[in-house]
Structure 1
């Protein structure tokens, strides 16, 4: 009994010393830092900024006219470097502002799907990339990277050719502590089928594919992702009621960018979301 008490006292003392060291160093057990996400209100177009540990990832750049708005936000928040620029696919509402972004901030890595597009916006993006003497990583296999406490997994399309340009969309999964975020580009039925077959789809948050377009695979996809929160990038002209209803039936809280910019914070345990229309 005496021996047990001595060991117990030593154990308590060790724990007290450990907690003291952690408090003096400004650390707390389980604190993995914060990740912040903004999904811009730019109509039926995508641009999403993720920031963690002074690292920044921009997913898509909206339409051509949205480039200046994105740069203004980056300048106001003193962001002069993007660690990754991920263009999910080359539709004008995803790649349109890429040339403006490349011209105005330092971009360390550019990631796209492995295909080309004969469009004005794509050609301007390629020209801006060449002007910076840069090349993009054209994904044919999964890409993983870590920034701070966030782990990124980028899924490329599984085919070399699709009848629908949207099905070339890269899909990005981000794990931050207990929270997970899925950004599904403009994936349509064929691409959604690929994702469903890959499995492991459950995420805390979903950026709904293709601005809320409902397909024959949408309900199955939503059920497998089973998100607590979802965002649809849309304008007043969108008709996303069927998608909203399908998500709300799962208990998902749905936000629409037509109602304002969406700000998301993750501390690794909880997710908080607010929406503001400051325009």
Structure 2
């Protein structure tokens, strides 16, 4: 019996993941396709009437673009995000994009739900209410990364928020999926220095490639700790994810089913070529993979 279903939507250069849990649903990031495809609208059309948890890896636009739609449909969820990102979003909203209507709408929605959570680091793992489906997230402080404080930025100055991203492990009965937002290689290596992070990611079955498979986020040190079956890459068509072959070389391979009924061993799968990526996890931790 498939207890947990994971959908990685095709939102081009962004991330949007739905995890349908045994008791509650979890959403990780809310990107949106340039053709107007909305993960929220897709969830509504497929009868997803409630979401228990929303995790935002980091608030770059390609990870939060669908938040206004999400807030129109869902409420009462637990929200987890990097706490220290808020002042940088306020800075972008007020100083960098004051006349960009779309960014104003997106950032206002993000800041609204950010304000609900205060500084309490809540997580689905804080509760046993989802029948053993667990999420553990880890990230670095801006001081660890040498990021300039937001209140010291010039009006026209911006900073890279990629390395504030959460490294998140989804675990269910021995199965593990690892996603890392847009973490780049140096930040990943910093996190791997922590023994509790290494323990958390050990035994990873599926890796969602950080930063859409970009070379800047590939580090061989990660694969000293994990040996995934397959790598999933969320990226746009026609964009070179230059480390995709390197990721494939680090996986053992997984038999993948196409919706037309054909099967093939794959080492990496991508939203740009394979459409929606689906993983169905059974109650014994085994899983199947289906692509378009």
Distance 2:217 2:290 in 1: 31
Which residue number corresponds to residue 110 of structure 1?
79
Matched, 1:170 2:163: no
Runs of 5+ consecutive residues of structure 2 not aligned to the other structure: 148-158, 254-266
The verdict on how the C-alpha distance between 1:216 and 1:233 changes in structure 2, with shifts beyond 3 A counting, is closer
Distance 1:127 1:246 in 2: 36
The verdict on how the C-alpha distance between 1:101 and 1:138 changes in structure 2, with shifts beyond 3 A counting, is farther
User: Residue 276 of structure 2 is aligned with which of 258, 261, 275?
Assistant: 261
Contact 1:248–1:254 (Cα < 8 Å) also in 2:
no
Distance 1:46 1:57 in 2: 14
Distance 1:39 1:157 in 2: 25
Contact 1:67–1:101 (Cα < 8 Å) also in 2:
no
User: When the two structures are aligned, how many residues end up with a matched partner?
Assistant: 245
Which residue number corresponds to residue 229 of structure 1?
230
In terms of mean alpha carbon deviation, does 98-107 or 125-134 score higher? 125-134
Matched, 1:78 2:94: no
Which residue number corresponds to residue 261 of structure 2?
none
Q: Higher Cα Rg: structure 1 or 2?
A: 1
The verdict on how the C-alpha distance between 1:132 and 1:149 changes in structure 2, with shifts beyond 3 A counting, is closer
Distance 1:250 1:70 in 2: 28
Distance 2:214 2:172 in 1: 28
Distance 2:139 2:35 in 1: 25
Instruction: Using the TM superposition, give the Cα deviation of residue 54 of structure 1 relative to its aligned residue in structure 2, in angstroms.
Output: 3.4
Distance 2:278 2:124 in 1: 26
User: Residue 105 of structure 2 is aligned with which of 119, 124, 133?
Assistant: 124
Across the aligned residues of Structure 1 and Structure 2, the Cα RMSD in angstroms comes to: 2.9
Instruction: Using the TM superposition, give the Cα deviation of residue 244 of structure 1 relative to its aligned residue in structure 2, in angstroms.
Output: 2.6
Instruction: Using the TM superposition, give the Cα deviation of residue 69 of structure 1 relative to its aligned residue in structure 2, in angstroms.
Output: 2.1
Distance 1:83 1:39 in 2: 18
Runs of 5+ consecutive residues of structure 1 not aligned to the other structure: 1-30
In terms of mean alpha carbon deviation, does 253-262 or 237-246 score higher? 237-246
Matched, 1:40 2:9: yes
Instruction: Using the TM superposition, give the Cα deviation of residue 134 of structure 1 relative to its aligned residue in structure 2, in angstroms.
Output: 6.2
Which residue number corresponds to residue 149 of structure 1?
132
Instruction: Using the TM superposition, give the Cα deviation of residue 138 of structure 1 relative to its aligned residue in structure 2, in angstroms.
Output: 4.8
In terms of mean alpha carbon deviation, does 85-94 or 211-220 score higher? 211-220
Matched, 1:98 2:70: no
TM-score by length of 2: 0.74
In terms of mean alpha carbon deviation, does 253-262 or 56-65 score higher? 56-65
